[in-house]
Homo-oligomer: A and B are copies of this chain.
Amino acid sequence: MFLKNAWYVAAWDNELVGDRLLARRLLGTNLVFYRGENGRAVVMEDRCCHRHAPLSHGQREGNCLRCMYHGLLFDASGRCVEVPGQERISDKLRVRNFPLVERDHLLWIWMGDPALADPATIPDTHWHDTPGWQAERGGYIHYESNVNLIVDNLLDFSHLAFVHNKSIGTRKQGGVKPEVDFLDESVQVRFTTLEGAPPPFARQLSKLPDVVDRFNYYVWNIRGNYFAQDSVIGPVGEGYGTESPLAMKLHTFIALTPEDADSTHYFWSTSHNDFASDIPDVTRQLTVQVAGAFEEDRDIIEAQQKSISVSPGEPMIAIAADGTLLRVRRMLDGMLAAEQPQGAGKPAVVTITPVSVQPTVVH
């Protein structure tokens, strides 16, 4: 069961070029994406309403999409506008279409009640295009696991010390207790590691000293599954707001969109400040390092999923660090229950408050 009334990331903008048809399954539904001749991105169910041939085997014609089995032509709203050899076209010949918004290089889809789809609630991802910040766009990982196992991972940074001890984590992080604030439909986490060694990737790319302070401040937004993190690795004692030219400041955005019950799309980007302007391809190098760390997560999470699938229903014994993820799971359960027909009211507005605007710096 997936939360439907939410904006989910569906694709990167550059996945739709020319007359390409992109087939992708989201929330258990096969979809086809294309960009009309007018430049507007369109999404509809990837199944002709006539005989169920996938429309992604069809071809774009102007702003329309033609099924290449029997030639039915659909406009961008999903309405059939041509049946070869037939004059009258039934109003029933219609493919389901979904609200789709393009913003900051991402395509956002709303698969719930279209009347509730308010583009103003799409989260802020301006880092993809802001002076002073660099990023490679297009980060994508396909996960063979339920989305919630990935959420758990993002909500408990104690794994940094073990899963990532050769990339972005250090053993010292194993015992760190984060500060956590629960909001209506999101949670803010401040994970601070003072006077520790820089993680391996920072050692390699930056000129930071051998002892640093590290701040991982992030928001997890339950409705739509987004993670937005401001992280700072800087000289000891200067705090989260350090102005040191050596300080490595990163903004990481992750959006998880369920493909099905046991598989997930993982879209991501890491934007960085000019901490190393003398390294010519630092953005590429940083992206490779972060991607490598995310693969470490994927390895253990997919293994965890297999372990759960082979023995479903076995109990999990909680430890203290699980408090956050267990509470978030309960919040999600409440939101899912509220979305069901009998109890469905209007969903709360989805906002994502970047932690970077919070004045609090914690030592």
Contacts and interface: CB of A to CB of B under 8 A. Distances in A.
A316 B49 contact: yes
A27 to B, nearest CB: 13
Contact of A53 (B57, B84, B300): B300
Given A85-B177, A174-B84, A72 B319 contact: yes
B30 A70 contact: no
A38 interface: no
B303 A86 contact: no
Contact of A52 (B57, B307, B322): B307
A31 to B, nearest CB: 12
Interface string A72-114: 1000000000011110001011000000000000000000000
A54 B84 contact: no
Contact of A319 (B86, B307, B318, B319): B86
Interface of A: 30, 46-47, 49-54, 57, 66-72, 83-86, 90, 92-93, 152, 156, 158-159, 161-163, 174-177, 299-300, 303-304, 306-308, 310-311, 314, 316-322
B93 A319 contact: yes
Contacts of A310: 30
A313 to B, nearest CB: 11
B52 A308 contact: yes
Contact of A69 (B52, B300, B306): B300
A318 B69 CA distance: 14
A71 B50 CA distance: 54
B85 A54 contact: no
A49 B177 CA distance: 21
Given A85-B174, A152-B51, A158-B84, A307 B46 contact: yes
Contacts of A85: 158, 174-177, 320-321
Nearest to A92: B317
B90 A162 contact: no
